[in-house]
Amino acid sequence: MTARWGRHDYLHYIISETNKYNADNISRTKAYQNFYMAFPEIKWAFLASMVSRNAGWNMTDLWLLPFRKILSASQRKLLFMTYERANWLIFSDAYPQLMVYQLSLHSDKPLFHLLPDLYVSRYMQKEWAFFWEHQDTQRLVLALIINEQNVIHRPVIKQDYFKYRVFLRPSYLLQDILLLNAVLLPTRTKRLYGAFVHDFTDIDKRIALGKQLAAIMFHPRVYRPLLAFARTVEHTGSRQDYERFLGRHTEKAPLLRTVYPVITHQDNIRKDWYKKGGIRQKWLKNNSVNPDPRIKKTFYNRRKLMYAYAHLKDLFM
């Protein structure tokens, strides 16, 4: 089929597939995971699927009692839109790259000359060409982490709307100071892995977090149970996806599609971050970690504090 395709045919197909799966957090998460299952050499796709699961859990957390007590409806909507916009924007940039790679394999020739028409950074154009020649999977994971964090940095993190309405507001700053947010990597047992999110507005910290998560995920002790979880547990957007294995009696978050509509996003012509900012050498250093399962205890102790604070606020305010 693709043997007779021209440039326009490829681009139309890539854009159509991307739009189809970029509907909401559920469809994005599944698309990343399905791609990884088909092409396990692209390790970033598995990382993206697990981070996307966490984005969905953060979205439905906003319907839990403490968030409804502590935050106004408008504040919760803004936080949802922050998660949603970043989730959507990364997918809109990354999934076309994955599709170009898939089509290159199908055509038995590199098609990375299509990437400029998809507004993919010059940095990733070079990295995909390098990967095609050398099959350096670790370098590609790192490149995609660096790229996607730069993709969201100005349109979301530094964009005035989100900057002043979310990231500089006391509700966000309190969560950040108390380390109430984490990216969790669950299993079908009582064991959780992951890392806490701190200073999310700092691009160096976000890239370091991405490298840390990748190192944990592909650690021999973590990879198989994490993959087993991903393969057998459907992503619903609710933490009940993994909390049912923990033996904990927690407030159940709703299913994502029961509380949030599909959001239509405006896709502005994006400038190439690489041409303006380039690469910092610290981003290129690899992380080695020893996965620590104690994150579960710390994470849920902090959640208890949040519930206690909401209760006190309800009593005295």
For the chain (317 residues), the mean pLDDT of every run of 10, in chain order, is: 82 97 98 98 98 97 90 89 94 98 96 96 98 97 97 85 67 55 94 90 94 96 97 98 91 96 86 91 86 89 83 69
CB contact set of 227 (below 8 Å; sequence gap of 6+):
46
Write down the pLDDT at residue 176. 54
**Residue 51: strand, helix, or coil:** helix
| 88 close to 48: Cβ distance less than 8 angstroms | no
Q: Minimal CA–CA distance to 185: which of 31, 40, 32, 46? A: 46
Angle (nearest 5°) at CA 263 between 262 and 268: 145
Q: Where are the beta strands (DSSP E) in the chain?
A: 182-186, 192-196
Domain ranges of the chain: 2-316
Distance CA 276, CA 151 (A): 12
User: What is the model's pTM?
Assistant: 0.94
| Lookup: tokens for 212 | 């840390």
**Residue 208: strand, helix, or coil:** helix
Cα Dmax for the chain: 70
